[in-house]
């Protein structure tokens, strides 16, 4: 719940912009320092296999490798800028009363601290600047690439705007479910790629076709994928580090998948589709790692719906334009399970409270599962009471296992399926 203090009668006479000085005041409370050394060392678990595949395992075309490395250098710079920008933005959002209380610390002194909200806005802005500038360094002569790339950026930018609107205005949650379908419009309108699907080999005798053109149904599917990816990240949330942590795990899996596809293929168009995904996911991962450095337990900032929508939309966009949405959906397995568990409450069959979270015991510091249909509660009911940090780690490990399962499934099905 984002808490925005109402302006008192005395305050109301003063226009809001005049209430605060222009520059942040040095007397204002500082947020807790970032945990970036810990987060960076943790990220090596994913980054090492990625760079091993890029540099040693596959012979990636020099031109393509150069573009990927330029994007990686941009992303590294983005990590540092985001790390610096978050404490500054935190002071500004706090002054505009955009903060939340940490619900899973209610009853302790930490639960009474105002935590700055919507820090996804800082991440989103750095991401957009990086990806807009990067176009200058992509050496593909294909102008169609630029059209789709900019349509993708327009959709992501629109999603950041709507996410921030949601954080500021607290849109009713049934309305917020459909916001991503508006944000997906720039991409859907500009999309000039194919609208066909390849029928899995075992099904060809039944369907009678090898390739099926879905036409407008394919665009509808693209829109629904955007709605699913954004909302599923947003509702698998409420624990310190979970929103960003799941994005970091999925984004790393996407990068590994992309590089494997580039390495295994000789088709330049196919390689370009996966490189396209890398150019967007590398900056997403780097800026998210900077955010995670502040959002990891105990959180000194909250990410807001600005971030969950932005991250979900970026991953949906690369899945659509890279043509690997079926792989993406398996990476999203925990989110699919959480969505299925949530269905009775989302559909209104049983009551849905504002926050569907576990119960926190301030005496022991442990969380207990409630009957709300979420994966978080399901884990607590299955594995017993846990601290917030261990629960978040367990859920992220499950996310990583789902990604490994996806790689295994692809390996087993190659040749048989397509």
The answer to whether 237 contacts ligand UD1 (rule: CB under 6 A) is yes
- Residues near Mg ion (CB under 5 A), total: 2
Which residue, 100 or 283, is less far from ligand UD1 as judged by CB? 100
**Using CA atoms, how far apart are residues 342 and 330, in angstroms rounded to an integer?**
18
Report the site for Mg ion in 285-344 (rule: CB under 5 A): 305
Which residue, 170 or 361, is less far from Mg ion as judged by CB? 170
Smallest distance from the beta carbon of 355 to Mg ion, in angstroms? 10
Cβ 35 vs Cβ 300: under 8 Å: no
Report the site for ligand UD1 in 357-386 (rule: CB under 6 A): 357
C-alpha 366: how far from chain center: 27
Q: Where are the alpha helices (DSSP H) in 54-119?
A: 62-95
Residue of 230, 234, 277, 287 that binds Mg ion (CB under 5 A): 234
**Using CA atoms, how far apart are residues 187 and 227, in angstroms rounded to an integer?**
13
Residues 6+ apart with CB under 8 A from 167: 2, 98, 117, 118, 304, 305, 306
Which of the choices ligand UD1, Mg ion, none does residue 240 contact, using the CB cut-off of 5 to 8 A by kind? ligand UD1
Going 329 to 162 to 287 to 320, the CA torsion angle's sign is: positive
Residue of 184, 235, 280, 400 that binds ligand UD1 (CB under 6 A): 235
Which of the choices ligand UD1, Mg ion, none does residue 378 contact, using the CB cut-off of 5 to 8 A by kind? none
Taking the CA of residue 6 as centre, how many other CA atoms within 13 Å lie in the half-sphere pointing to its CB?
Answer: 2
Picking from 34, 43, 80, the residue whose alpha carbon sits closest to that of residue 296 is 34
Which residue, 133 or 343, is less far from ligand UD1 as judged by CB? 343
Which residue, 1 or 76, is less far from ligand UD1 as judged by CB? 1
Which residue, 91 or 176, is less far from Mg ion as judged by CB? 176
Count the Cβ atoms, other than its own, within 10 Å of residue 125.
17
Which residue, 91 or 236, is less far from ligand UD1 as judged by CB? 236
Could you list the residues that contact Mg ion (CB under 5 A)?
234, 305
Could you list the residues that contact ligand UD1 (CB under 6 A)?
1-2, 100-104, 117, 173, 234-235, 237-240, 299, 302, 305, 342, 355-357
């Amino acid at each position: 719940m984002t808490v925005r203090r109402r302006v008192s009668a005395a305050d109301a006479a003063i226009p809001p912009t005049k209430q605060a000085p222009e520059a942040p005041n040095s007397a204002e409370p500082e947020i807790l320092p970032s945990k970036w050394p810990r987060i960076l060392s943790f990220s090596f678990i994913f980054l090492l296999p990625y760079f091993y595949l890029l540099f040693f395992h596959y012979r990636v075309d020099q031109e393509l490798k150069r573009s990927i490395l330029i994007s990686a250098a941009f992303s590294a710079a983005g990590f540092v800028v985001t790390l610096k920008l978050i404490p500054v933005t935190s002071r500004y959002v706090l002054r505009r009363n955009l903060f939340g209380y940490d619900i899973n610390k209610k009853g302790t002194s930490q639960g009474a601290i105002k935590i700055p909200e919507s820090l996804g806005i800082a991440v989103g802005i750095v991401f957009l600047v990086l990806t807009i500038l990067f176009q200058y360094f992509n050496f593909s002569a294909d102008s169609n690439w630029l059209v789709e790339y900019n349509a993708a950026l327009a959709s992501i930018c629109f999603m950041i705007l709507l996410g921030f609107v949601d954080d500021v205005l607290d849109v009713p949650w049934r309305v917020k479910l459909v916001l991503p379908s508006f944000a997906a419009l720039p991409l859907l309108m500009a999309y000039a790629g194919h609208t066909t699907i390849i029928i899995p080999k075992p099904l060809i005798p039944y369907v009678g076709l090898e390739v099926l053109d879905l036409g407008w149904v394919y665009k509808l599917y693209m829109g629904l994928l955007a709605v699913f990816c954004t909302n599923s990240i947003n509702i698998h949330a409420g624990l310190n580090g979970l929103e960003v942590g799941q994005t970091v795990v999925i984004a790393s899996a996407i990068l590994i998948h992309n590089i494997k596809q580039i390495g295994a293929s000789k088709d330049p168009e196919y390689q370009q589709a996966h490189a396209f995904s890398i150019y967007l996911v590398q900056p997403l991962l780097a800026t998210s790692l900077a955010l995670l450095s502040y959002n990891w337990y105990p959180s000194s900032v909250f990410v807001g719906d600005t971030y969950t929508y932005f991250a979900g939309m970026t991953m949906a966009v690369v899945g659509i334009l890279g043509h690997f949405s079926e792989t993406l959906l398996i990476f999203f397995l925990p989110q699919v399970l959480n969505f299925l568990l949530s269905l009775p409450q989302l559909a209104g069959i049983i009551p849905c409270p504002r926050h569907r979270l576990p119960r926190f015991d301030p005496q022991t510091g442990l969380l207990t599962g409630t009957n709300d249909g979420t994966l978080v509660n399901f884990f607590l009911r299955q594995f017993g009471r846990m601290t917030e940090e261990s629960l978040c780690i367990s859920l992220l490990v499950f996310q990583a296992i789902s990604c490994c399962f996806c790689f295994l499934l692809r390996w087993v099905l190659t040749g048989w399926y397509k």
